[in-house]
Amino acid sequence: MTEGLYGKSLLDLTELTEENFIEIIQLGIGMKKDSEKYKTVLSGKILAMIFEKNSTRTRVSFEAGIIQLGGQAIILDTKSTQMGRGEPVKDTAKVISSYVDGIMIRTFSDQMIQEFSKESSVPIINGLTDHHHPCQVLADFMTIFEIKNKLKGIKLAYVGDGNNMAHSYLLGGSIVGMDIAIASPKEYQPNPEYVEQAQKIANTSGSQIIITDDPYEAVKNADVVVTDVWASMGDEGEQEMRTQIFHDYQVNDSLVQQAKSDYIFLHCLPAHREEEVSSKVIDGDHSYIYQEAENRLHAQKALLVKLMAKEK
């Protein structure tokens, strides 16, 4: 029997075991098939949602998710709260956690969310930070599991900026035994700290980690091909420069011919067609971006239940 997640936080994917991943994914699939069965499981529970970064999918999926489970959401924009006026994280965390049953935070600083978790009396969920995007990868792995019926032994190739998505694929993939290949320009490759962390995990799980500046090497024989925008939130001022640097990293017909014939394409969205991905690929038969986006709802509902509902 695996260790329960009740009352714990999810700041990055290293806080999950392979068994936790499978449990969350299978629960998410069950909820997707029969949402009525779970409509009161978090009755009376309140989820506070703190946003410092703009959001579409994270906000709607978490708010809809807690409501569908019988709970309620309180939406907080840091600009309209005392956090925007410089209230210490410690004070905010202690106070808000005394009012609610869980807190989802979408922010820039990983240090901020770590401090918030340290001071909070309720579970904290990382809805996105500069270095991690665990909930998106839970949804992506759920999508892969639905289509491929496994995670272990799958090769996932990520092409583009070595950002929070790349970090989360490295960590999550190494935990569940997926082979992860990341192709980025040398100056935009993933943070070495997370590469080293993933490699240590991979040494136990048996997965293979590849970091390269050659997208064709990364995509060769891939089961899953993934990309993300070239300029993440906070990097918009570098868009023109990055467009030139990443020019050869577009996921297009030429590149995906290196993947397996039954490969699937994923993108966390929003996407810029004809920049990081061609329209032909993202709107083609191998693309599962909308199933992936819908699975944010189901995977996060499963996560909320695991963190906020006592097992009977």
Which two structure tokens, joined as six digits, stand for 266? 């994923």
Please report, for residues 8, 109, 128, 222, the alpha-carbon distance to residue 28 in angstroms, rounded to integers and kept in the order given: 18, 28, 20, 25
pLDDT band at 312 (very low <50, low <70, confident <90, very high): low
Q: Give Dmax over CA atoms of the chain in angstroms.
A: 55
Question: Where would I find the H helices in 7-99?
Answer: 18-33, 57-68, 89-97
Q: Which residue has the tokens 């906000």?
A: 59
209 vs 136: CA distance, rounded Å: 20
- If you count DSSP H runs as helices and E runs as strands, how many of each does the chain have, helices first? 12, 9
Average pLDDT, the chain: 95
The kind and range of the H/E element at 104 are strand 102-106
Give the per-residue pLDDT at 232.
Answer: 79
pLDDT (0 to 100) of residue 1: 35
Residues carrying an active site annotation:
106, 133, 136, 228, 268, 296
Stretch 237-255: mean pLDDT, rounded?
A: 94
pLDDT band at 3 (very low <50, low <70, confident <90, very high): low
User: Cα separation of 7 and 102, whole Å?
Assistant: 9
User: What CA–CA distance (Å, rounded) separates 164 from 136?
Assistant: 10
**Which positions ≥6 away from 106 have C-beta within 8 Å?**
49, 50, 51, 52, 53, 55, 58, 59, 127, 128
Least confident stretch, 239-243, 266-270, 276-280: 239-243
Domains defined along the chain, listed by start: 13-132+296-308 (3.40.50.1370), 137-292 (3.40.50.1370)
Is the pLDDT assigned to residue 113 strictly greater than 90?
A: yes
What pTM does this model have?
A: 0.96
55, pLDDT greater than 60: yes
Question: What is residue 230's predicted lDDT score, i.e. its pLDDT?
Answer: 94
